[in-house]
Chains A and B, each alone.
Chain A
Amino acid sequence: MSTPLTSLDRPNSYIGRSVPRPNAKRLLAGRGRYVSDLKLPRMLHAAFLRSPHAHAKIGSINTEPARGVEGVHLVATGEDLAKLCTPWTGTLDHFKGMTSAPQWPLPLDRVVWAGQAVVAVVAESRAIAEDALELIEIDYEDLPVVVDIDSARVAGGPLVNPGSANNTCFRSQLDSGTVDDAFAHAAHVVEEEFTFGRHTAVTLEPRAIVADYDPAAGALIVHHATQTPYQFQDLYSRHYGIPEARVRVIATDIGGSFGMKLHVYHEDMAVVGLSILLGRPVKFVADRMESFVSDIHARDHRVRARMALDAKGEILAMDVLDLTAIGAFSTYPRTSVVEGNQVIRLIGAPYRFRNYRATLEVIFQNKVQTSQYRAVGHPIACAVTERLMDMAASKIGLDPFAIRAQNVIPDDAYPQTSPTGYRFEALSHQACLKRLHEIMDYDGLRAEQADLRKRGIYRGIGIAAFVEITNPSPAFYGVGGARISSQDGAILSLTPSGEVRCMISVTEQGQGTEAIISQIVADQLGVAQEHVKVITGDTEVTPHGGATWACRGAGIGGETALQATRALKRNILEIAALILQEQPSALDIIDGEVVDAATRKPRLPIAEIARIAYFRSDTLPPGTQAQLTVSHHFAPQGYPFAFTNGIQGCVLDVDVETGLVKLLKHFIVEDCGRVINPMLVDEQLRGGIVQGLGAALFEECRYSDTGQLMNGSLADYLVPMPMEMPDIVIAHVETPTADTVLGAKGVGEAGTAAASACVLNAVNDALAPFDATINSMPITPAKVLKALKRL
């Protein structure tokens, strides 16, 4: 049995300690190494001509004038690249019956959204490539456009994929218990239809890629700003027919990702092909407008939901229909149905009712693809559930805290299985509710709200409980046939000078992966953190693994590092025992010294063990082979997911004259299991909450009725900025998972999961005196004024 992980009073105890990220100093000094900064010898630049039509047949393409421009090296169409690259289809086997059309780097005969890349130009500079684009002529023949959910579902209406029966990508139904019976006997029923606008990740660094094919070696190196280098190594290898060992993907510093940079993009696949055609490095960095029209979008759901309750406010049943529009294709390789699937499975998750029915319908339309972005499905499930809870509370005359306290699964009732099939190991809703009530000073806030109303100030208070999916097992993608790993690997060495080098498959996008891995290694081995170097993001160097997504870095990557470190420690102590003529069990390592385990008296620095093993192995007993490098893999077992939970609260004012919402303060109590670095956990929560607040109030990709994105710039698409965002108060409950030694679960999406639901509830709370309600996000001033019948 190990020493307790929470003990902070022994040397090198880094688990549970707020320490700054060693790698952040480079970024502060302007020494980041982003793919958009990269310059390689003989590197060329790609630009893409994009479709001005949301749906059209491609006729003739005249590229001759563009080919003649000085400095242009290649003009390539869909046909040119299809000769090199096999098509891909964004379906997974476990989503029974789902369909999606095959995709190529550039389209062969039809464009299906406005902004889709059609022709590539490669030139000596981006500017020259863009000049040449202007000389390309394409004859388009307009086809009927499918824009909104309703027109997509009209029988006999226009089709996104001609030849298909309808615009349905996937349908799914869940039905457990006796839903109709529960509604028939309910004392109260609340019902609402919610809409959730499309929004997008808006990473500050746009997508960036440099593909570098060496025809002499038959080898491809791709510098790719992605979360998942191994996934792309596999995909580039298989779609371009290059042996895996000759494909290397390097992901260095990345200017934000949030799920957006783990999908296959047409331009990225094209750039690989362009480099193969030219035998030279080719770079593509999306500009901001290209990001808006080609990065994946997220959400775009319309949910009709009702909840049945008994006279005392106990939930009896829920019944849900989620319609979601995903663009013209399902995204590869993770699909575009995961969000809807998680919406219908997470609705009602904090509560203990048993009767649940849900239908999901995933619909094609002529817009850019939607797919996984931070907190996939969670904000929708949370907003639907938590708004219905508030509507029920108001109808029955209960306080929002009281109705939740009455209905959450009790903390001592675990394990539990939700009516949607999710298995919860241990959650802490009751503890979190109680703690939120305290940190908000809820009673004080309500008293203040009552006073302010008398003065014509409409303050709103909202809370929202959530459950988050983290640490996914192969149940997430692997079972569906996707070559997306749920395990991670690490190679850990004691170097000749007695330092430690850890090469691990989880990746860093600024959340602090490298920092927490070095904390775990230092803690478990017994060395100072500054003597641990962590290397990530290079398929040639680090073992194959899932990398960083779905809140798996700390829980799965961290456990991989922990187990690898324990293996290395055993090996070091074996050699130490031979040198010191002791039993390994009588020895330990503290602060880089082998010590007597009982007395903690220093015996030998580990640097000395390294020196002997590497340079004077002749002095070790015959037959000894020191193993100061270990490789270790860890795949999650036990529960298919490590669910986390928490609750958020917010306070805001609604200006009933202008419809503007002013956020005043936000609160969260969160339980991510073992906290490795409290400061980094809090920063994940804050960043996640602010993304959720953006979705609540500002962010929406707005389309014209011809399928044109109307606000594709940072002046038109509103993101949360510093002066609009509140301070955020954070508290923790710690319920470690027993599936791992480390006990950590994920935390990256918890903030986003419930922040928008809180705002929705708080705005409705503020509007209560007017008998006005809001059921649509983002909550724009116009929607508020409409609800108030002032517009």
Chain B
Amino acid sequence: MSGFDETPLDEADETVRVRFVVNGRKVACEVAPRDTLVDCLRDKLELTGTHAGCEMGACGACLVQIDGRAVHSCLMYAVQADGAAINTIEGLTESGVLGDLQAEFHRRNALQCGFCTPGMLVTAQELLSRMTQPSRDEIRDALSGNYCRCTGYEAIVDAIDAVAKARSEGGGGA
């Protein structure tokens, strides 16, 4: 920024370099300290499959995996995630780890507008990694932080239930 010293720039404009492993690939980007992780993923890294719904951790649209756990990317500053391994819907799709869930969601039409879907899939994957045979109530409970305005939830519960059963029968692997 030298040469422009006469232009007073706010603190908010100062950026910090952060590095992540996103979807298995090392990336670096410049973020402002106030940038949330969801904004960083969507705007800087153009991973627009992660959505911002409520910006306060209530709706689950922004869920991503950080170091293997489901995390609200709207409740975390990008600088806090420095050094973390982050998986978004794009990477989880490419790796195939969600393939059976995505196929079952598709088959049962467990989505309409699709805005909640990436977050639903992240929650479903987390649930099935903790619990191989959840009951319907346990599935509904696990989804209690995922808002969907379109489906009424039942097809989503059905799809997760079916995948849980199929994974158990297939030896628990995905």
Contact code string B113-157 (vs A, CB < 8 Å = 1, else 0): 111111001000000000000001101110111111111111111
Give the CA-CA distance A99 to B47 in the complex, in Å.
47
The winner among A128, A689, A690 for most chain B CB atoms within 10 A is A690
Q: Spot the interface stretch: B8-16, B65-73, B78-86, B164-172.
A: B8-16
Residue contact B53 to A721, C-beta cutoff 8 Å: no
Q: Is A456 an interface residue (CB 8 A)?
A: no
The winner among B116, B139, B141 for most chain A CB atoms within 10 A is B116
Residue contact B109 to A24, C-beta cutoff 8 Å: yes
Q: Is A177 an interface residue (CB 8 A)?
A: no
If A127-B12, A255-B115 touch, does A722 touch B140 (CB 8 Å cutoff)?
A: yes
If A509-B112, A687-B152 touch, does A29 touch B147 (CB 8 Å cutoff)?
A: no
Q: Is A34 an interface residue (CB 8 A)?
A: yes
Residue contact B115 to A204, C-beta cutoff 8 Å: yes
Shortest beta-carbon distance, B174 to chain A, in Å?
Answer: 15
Q: Is A136 an interface residue (CB 8 A)?
A: no
If A204-B61, A691-B149, A714-B59 touch, does A683 touch B156 (CB 8 Å cutoff)?
A: no
Residue contact B144 to A723, C-beta cutoff 8 Å: yes
| Cβ 8 A contact of A253, one of B35, B113, B141 | B113
Q: Is B89 an interface residue (CB 8 A)?
A: yes
Residue contact B147 to A510, C-beta cutoff 8 Å: no
| Cβ 8 A contact of B149, one of A39, A131, A203 | A203
- Chain B residue contacts of A728, Cβ below 8 A: 152, 154
The residue in chain B whose Cβ has the minimal distance to the Cβ of A28 is: B102
If A256-B113, A511-B112 touch, does A714 touch B58 (CB 8 Å cutoff)?
A: yes
Shortest beta-carbon distance, A225 to chain B, in Å?
Answer: 10
Residue contact A510 to B114, C-beta cutoff 8 Å: yes
- Chain A residue contacts of B116, Cβ below 8 A: 204
Q: Is A97 an interface residue (CB 8 A)?
A: no
| Cβ 8 A contact of A715, one of B12, B58, B114 | B58
- Chain B residue contacts of A52, Cβ below 8 A: none
Q: Is A223 an interface residue (CB 8 A)?
A: no
Give the CA-CA distance A683 to B89 in the complex, in Å.
24
Q: Is A20 an interface residue (CB 8 A)?
A: yes
| Cβ 8 A contact of B114, one of A27, A128, A683, A721 | A27
- Chain A residue contacts of B108, Cβ below 8 A: 679
Interface residues on chain B, size class? 35 or more
Give the CA-CA distance A20 to B102 in the complex, in Å.
12
Residue contact A258 to B49, C-beta cutoff 8 Å: no
Residue contact A70 to B143, C-beta cutoff 8 Å: no
Give the CA-CA distance A37 to B42 in the complex, in Å.
8
Give the CA-CA distance A743 to B3 in the complex, in Å.
72
Residue contact B54 to A714, C-beta cutoff 8 Å: yes
Residue contact B143 to A510, C-beta cutoff 8 Å: no
Give the CA-CA distance A719 to B59 in the complex, in Å.
10
- Chain B residue contacts of A721, Cβ below 8 A: 143-147
- Chain B residue contacts of A131, Cβ below 8 A: 10, 12
Residue contact A727 to B55, C-beta cutoff 8 Å: no
If A713-B56, A714-B54, A723-B143 touch, does A32 touch B114 (CB 8 Å cutoff)?
A: yes
Main secondary structure of the interface of B (DSSP, over half): loop
- Chain A residue contacts of B93, Cβ below 8 A: 28-30
Residue contact A202 to B149, C-beta cutoff 8 Å: yes
Residue contact A254 to B151, C-beta cutoff 8 Å: no
Shortest beta-carbon distance, B1 to chain A, in Å?
Answer: 12
Give the CA-CA distance A710 to B52 in the complex, in Å.
22
Q: Is A501 an interface residue (CB 8 A)?
A: no
CB contacts under 8 Å to B, within A667-701, are 679-680, 683, 686-691
Give the CA-CA distance A205 to B147 in the complex, in Å.
11
If A30-B118, A721-B144 touch, does A24 touch B111 (CB 8 Å cutoff)?
A: yes
Give the CA-CA distance A36 to B52 in the complex, in Å.
9
Q: Is A423 an interface residue (CB 8 A)?
A: no
- Chain B residue contacts of A715, Cβ below 8 A: 54, 56, 58
Residue contact B149 to A256, C-beta cutoff 8 Å: yes
If A37-B42, A204-B59 touch, does A288 touch B54 (CB 8 Å cutoff)?
A: yes
CB contacts under 8 Å to A, within B67-106, are 88-90, 93, 102, 105-106
The winner among A687, A721, A722 for most chain B CB atoms within 10 A is A722
| Cβ 8 A contact of A723, one of B50, B140, B152 | B140
Residue contact A719 to B149, C-beta cutoff 8 Å: yes
- Chain A residue contacts of B149, Cβ below 8 A: 201-204, 256, 258, 687, 691, 719
Give the CA-CA distance A719 to B102 in the complex, in Å.
25
Give the CA-CA distance A753 to B154 in the complex, in Å.
19
The residue in chain A whose Cβ has the minimal distance to the Cβ of B59 is: A714
Residue contact B112 to A510, C-beta cutoff 8 Å: yes
Shortest beta-carbon distance, B161 to chain A, in Å?
Answer: 11
Residue contact B153 to A722, C-beta cutoff 8 Å: yes
Give the CA-CA distance A743 to B141 in the complex, in Å.
41
Residue contact B154 to A27, C-beta cutoff 8 Å: no
Give the CA-CA distance A147 to B32 in the complex, in Å.
42
Q: Is B2 an interface residue (CB 8 A)?
A: no
- Chain B residue contacts of A727, Cβ below 8 A: 136, 154, 157
Give the CA-CA distance A728 to B153 in the complex, in Å.
10
The residue in chain B whose Cβ has the minimal distance to the Cβ of A38 is: B48
Residue contact B109 to A679, C-beta cutoff 8 Å: yes
Give the CA-CA distance A287 to B145 in the complex, in Å.
19
- Chain B residue contacts of A679, Cβ below 8 A: 108-109
- Chain A residue contacts of B88, Cβ below 8 A: 30
Residue contact A205 to B51, C-beta cutoff 8 Å: yes
Give the CA-CA distance A227 to B123 in the complex, in Å.
30
Contact code string A488-520 (vs B, CB < 8 Å = 1, else 0): 000000000000000000000111100000000
- Chain B residue contacts of A202, Cβ below 8 A: 149
Q: Is A42 an interface residue (CB 8 A)?
A: no
Shortest beta-carbon distance, B89 to chain A, in Å?
Answer: 3
Q: Is A454 an interface residue (CB 8 A)?
A: no
Residue contact A28 to B156, C-beta cutoff 8 Å: no
Q: Is A725 an interface residue (CB 8 A)?
A: yes
| Cβ 8 A contact of A29, one of B43, B49, B146 | B49
The residue in chain B whose Cβ has the minimal distance to the Cβ of A131 is: B12
Residue contact B106 to A725, C-beta cutoff 8 Å: no
Shortest beta-carbon distance, A68 to chain B, in Å?
Answer: 10
Give the CA-CA distance A583 to B55 in the complex, in Å.
65
Q: Is B34 an interface residue (CB 8 A)?
A: yes
Residue contact A27 to B51, C-beta cutoff 8 Å: no
| Cβ 8 A contact of A20, one of B106, B114, B121 | B106
Shortest beta-carbon distance, A84 to chain B, in Å?
Answer: 29
Shortest beta-carbon distance, A32 to chain B, in Å?
Answer: 5
Give the CA-CA distance A32 to B50 in the complex, in Å.
10
Q: Is B107 an interface residue (CB 8 A)?
A: yes
Contact code string A257-292 (vs B, CB < 8 Å = 1, else 0): 110000000000000000000000000000110000
Residue contact A70 to B10, C-beta cutoff 8 Å: yes
CB contacts under 8 Å to B, within A14-44, are 20-21, 24-32, 34, 36-37, 39
Give the CA-CA distance A36 to B43 in the complex, in Å.
11
- Chain A residue contacts of B153, Cβ below 8 A: 690, 722, 725
- Chain A residue contacts of B150, Cβ below 8 A: 256, 510-511, 687
Residue contact B141 to A723, C-beta cutoff 8 Å: yes
CB contacts under 8 Å to B, within A566-608, are none
- Chain A residue contacts of B145, Cβ below 8 A: 721
- Chain B residue contacts of A253, Cβ below 8 A: 113-114
The winner among A25, A28, A688 for most chain B CB atoms within 10 A is A28
Residue contact A687 to B143, C-beta cutoff 8 Å: no
The residue in chain A whose Cβ has the minimal distance to the Cβ of B138 is: A723
Residue contact B50 to A30, C-beta cutoff 8 Å: yes
- Chain A residue contacts of B35, Cβ below 8 A: 127
Give the CA-CA distance A751 to B56 in the complex, in Å.
30
Known: A21-B106, A256-B150. 14 other contacts (CB 8 A): A27-B113, A28-B102, A30-B89, A37-B42, A39-B43, A70-B7, A127-B34, A203-B113, A205-B53, A253-B114, A255-B51, A512-B112, A721-B145, A722-B156
A-B interface, 3 closest residue pairs, ranked by CB to CB distance from nearest: A30-B49, A27-B114, A30-B89
Chain B interface (Cβ within 8 Å of chain A)? 7, 9-10, 12-13, 32, 34-35, 42-43, 46-56, 58-59, 61, 88-90, 93, 102, 105-109, 111-118, 121, 136-137, 139-141, 143-157
